[in-house]
Amino acid sequence: MSEETLSLRPLGRTGLFVSPICAGGAPLGNLPEAFGEVSEEQAAATVRTLLESPVNFLDTAAAYGDSEGRIGSVLRERGGLPAGFVLATKAGQDPETGRFDADVVRRSVERSLSLLGLERLQIVYLHSPDVMPFATAMEAKGPVQGLIGLRDEGLVGHVGVAGSGDVDAMIQYVRTGIFDVAITHNRYTLLDQSATPLLDMAADEGVAVLNAAPYQAGILATGPGPAARWRYGAAPAAIQERARRLQNVCQRFGVPLAAAALQFSLRDQRIAATIVGMDRAELVNETVCLARLQLPDEIWHELAMASVA
């Protein structure tokens, strides 16, 4: 791609303008089982580097361990959120009680505001509402109405929905017309395009889609091997074989597999931004370089052929 690759673009109908790369803040929260150990100093250095980079978009969540608090510490030392920077978070189930209703969403948002040191949140997503029946989520005292109420009060600018992987459930939420932004993860990559119906429908509805985990949580960045991870677990043999074929194509063209995996998402006009987890300062610049790397047009057909199950 080119230097213009990271030019800001509209985030659907929100009026916000974002870079096509969004930094994923989950690893910053020090969640060892999913992302390994990340110290407070390492997280702070990553956020500081991000704020000086071409990436102006950061995604976090109440459920991401210490992520919000660590981001908030850097924002306080900087005197607040920089002008033009977009920060989004998520509100989900109460981790202790399992409740997920309007009151839980309100408490989550109030806690996020405190941890981040902000008076207003630009974007808040319902985090994995597909853990409950759609009708329950839509009830008068359910999480959807709770988030709408916070938006109407001005504590939240725009509302979104972030699914846990169920594409059909995501489509159901997007069809309501309530949500401005939707996040899908691990479902639109070189190995898995099952989110295609969601991308098509959201484009028709004017809802911005963020595509998270373009590397399938590991294997499309590291390549296949004994330690390769896929969807936050060990990569099965069939996935390893398909990843090996993709890697072979990239080697023939002399490009990193990670660059192809990232640009597969970045080049899709239905995707407003691609969320890439960031756990160290160097990864910010490495990701920018992967996005700007020029890939030959011919590679995409060969990758499509190699990825067939």
Residue 234, classed as helix, strand or coil, is strand
Helix 257-266 × helix 281-292 angle, to 10°: 70
Q: Is the pTM of this model over 0.95?
A: yes
Tell me the average confidence (pLDDT) per consecutive run of 10 residues in the chain, 309 residues long. Answer: 82 98 98 92 99 98 99 98 98 97 99 99 98 97 99 99 95 98 98 98 98 96 95 94 98 98 98 98 98 98 94
Q: Which residue has the tokens 């899709």?
A: 268
CA distance 240 to 292: 27
Are 134 and 102 in contact, with CB atoms under 8 Å apart?
no
Are 7 and 299 in contact, with CB atoms under 8 Å apart?
no
Strand partners, 18: 9
Beta-carbon count within 10 A of 281 CB: 19
Measured CA to CA in angstroms, residue 296 lies from 250, 259, 264, 299, 301 at distances of 10, 12, 12, 6, 10
Amino acid, single-letter form, for residue 230: W
Beta-carbon count within 10 A of 39 CB: 10
Which pLDDT score is estimated for 232?
86
Which pLDDT score is estimated for 2?
60
Which pLDDT score is estimated for 35?
87
Which pLDDT score is estimated for 183?
99
Beta-carbon count within 10 A of 124 CB: 28
Beta pairing class for 229-230 and 233-234: antiparallel
Q: How many residues does the chain have?
A: 309
In degrees and rounded to multiples of 5, residue 134 shows phi and psi of -55, -45
**Could you give all domains of the chain from N- to C-terminal order, each with its CATH number?**
3-217+258-296 (3.20.20.100)
Which pLDDT score is estimated for 309?
80
